[in-house]
């Protein structure tokens, strides 16, 4: 299954595409959408929309995951980041993808083993889990970490679903 992870930001929105099959992960692509910081807010949001739309059209993921927003003390910054996050949630939804959301601590824990890992630790573990990948920015590494987290949870949910439906089928045949 091809998955896209997204790390929303107004200055830099990271994205990463991986393939997950049979418990194995493979790096497909990663990058960052950089809206012009001098542009008005609406134009920056359009740039994020266009950039993520292009990535989804190019790599055709089957599912998407987005990191939840960190709430800072500055309400204005949090609100603006929320707008960027809204766009990042909208693009894959409009493309017909299911969109999962994960807290930053859950993403870090699923990749590094600790929920309070530093960005450098996340980058190192993403490179370890996706060996041929040459990830250049922390934003792209964070997005790939979101995709990896989603792969782990998605695969677990599929297994649970298969075991539950299998148990239901066994119960039906006994009746």
The residues that bridge with 19 in the sheet, in sequence order, are 2, 26
3-state secondary structure the chain: CEEEEEECCCCCEEEEEEEEECCEEEEEEEEEECCCCCCCHHHHHHHHHHHHHHHHHHHCCCEEEEECCCCCCCHHHHHHHHHHHHHHHHHHHHCCCEEEEECHHHHHHHHHCCCCCCHHHHHHHHHHHCCCCCCCCHHHHHHHHHHHHHHHHHHHHHHHHHHHHHHHHHHHHHC
CB 123 within 8 A of CB 148: no
Closest CA to 105 of 74, 69, 155, 76: 69
Q: Which residues are part of the catalytic machinery?
A: 7, 67, 139
């Amino acid at each position: 299954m091809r998955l896209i992870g997204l790390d929303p930001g107004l200055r830099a929105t990271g994205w990463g595409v991986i393939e997950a099959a049979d418990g194995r992960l493979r790096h497909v692509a990663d990058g960052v959408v950089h809206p012009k910081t001098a542009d008005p807010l609406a134009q920056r949001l359009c740039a994020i929309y266009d950039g993520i739309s292009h990535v989804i059209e190019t790599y055709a993921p089957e599912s998407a995951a987005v990191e939840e927003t960190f709430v800072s003390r500055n309400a204005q910054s949090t609100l603006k980041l929320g707008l960027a996050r809204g766009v990042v949630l909208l693009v894959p939804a409009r493309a017909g993808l299911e969109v999962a959301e994960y807290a930053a601590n859950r993403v870090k824990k699923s990749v590094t083993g600790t929920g309070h890992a530093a960005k450098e630790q996340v980058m190192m573990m993403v490179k370890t889990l996706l060996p041929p990948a040459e990830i250049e920015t922390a934003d792209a590494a964070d997005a790939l970490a979101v995709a990896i987290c989603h792969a782990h949870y998605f695969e677990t949910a599929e297994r649970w679903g298969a075991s539950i439906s299998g148990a239901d089928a066994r119960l039906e045949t006994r009746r």
